[in-house]
Structure 1
């Protein structure tokens, strides 16, 4: 066989392989598309519920979704007041963890409580402690206190 003959034979093999490859991939894709188009999928409500539970998703009606989006937008814009709740009726409750360390005086404790908005006047609290002989009874520790507590409740907790 001559050199031209070998080249021709190799070229023929290459062309034939290319054509076969093209039809192989084209036919397999079109066959899969044909099967997918003709396949009827039956999805039941149970399937949908199962999927939602697995994905930890919740379905909302469109109007509830819109209301939530509006509430989020108002919150992000800084409008934290609710329309049905006038400002005069709002009550803020402050909560703090007060740490009393060795060597802290009752005036320092009262000052910390006033800074945390737990009490309104540190001098009134100091007077309460003094009148009830509790200025020396304050214990070291960490205490959870809130602004709804009375002087008596706070004193009972920290002493």
Structure 2
């Protein structure tokens, strides 16, 4: 038993010595060579489909987006007012069906298209779901409440719910 324990300890000492020797012989420049420069990192990110922005550019874009959002809200309010006025002027037979779509966290395109179909905004829920998926609108759906009417095209509805 004593010899077995000594042999085991000698094996551990030998393995540790070999690992220490290999580590000491490793070239430190080799490890630094794998670090990417800023340009290489940007190129790699762009290749993967990401956009690289400085903090200033990001701030400007978010400010522009918020101002566009406010403009769109004002425009939508005007359009809704115009639509309501138009609806009042039209006869009962050509009445436009409007629906306030509420998109909540966790909703998927199937839920949204089903809600629109149930409220007679669209005729085919599956076709609208496929449209959102195939045209990559499903990735950009935003949480919120949106007013949609039955005379809108799939593209118009998709643009509204993706802002």
The structure whose residues are more often helix, as a share, is 2
Q: TM-score interval w.r.t. the shorter chain?
A: 0.3 to 0.5
Normalising by structure 2, we get a TM-score of 0.42
Q: TM-score, normalised by structure 1?
A: 0.43
